[in-house]
Amino acid sequence: MAAAAQEVSVSSYVTRLLDRTVPPGRALKKAADGSISSDTLRRFAALRAEQRAPFPEDSAELIRESRAERKTHL
């Protein structure tokens, strides 16, 4: 929904998010058109394979809890 609100593709939206959050030196390898390279996709697949199980909690709920906790510490 966020990508649609910004009138960009989901791929472009996620790439922008990753560009802002991936630490320097661990940058994604992107093609000139902004798409993610096959090498990066292989790295993602390897990381996913290492993940034992998905988070048991709802990720949106985890984000809400984290934001609430952060606000109480400000």
Whether 34 and 12 have beta carbons less than 8 Å apart is answered as yes
In whole angstroms, give the CA distance from residue 22 to residue 35.
16
Q: Are 12 and 5 in contact (CB under 8 A)?
A: no
pLDDT tens readout for residues 40-74 = 888 888 888 887 776 677 778 888 888 898 888 76
User: Alpha-carbon torsion 67, 54, 30, 1, what sign?
Assistant: negative
Q: In this predicted structure, which of 17-21, 24-28, 44-48, 65-69 has the lowest mean pLDDT?
A: 24-28
CA 48, CA 56: separation in Å to the nearest integer? Answer: 15
Give the pLDDT mean for 16-45. Answer: 72
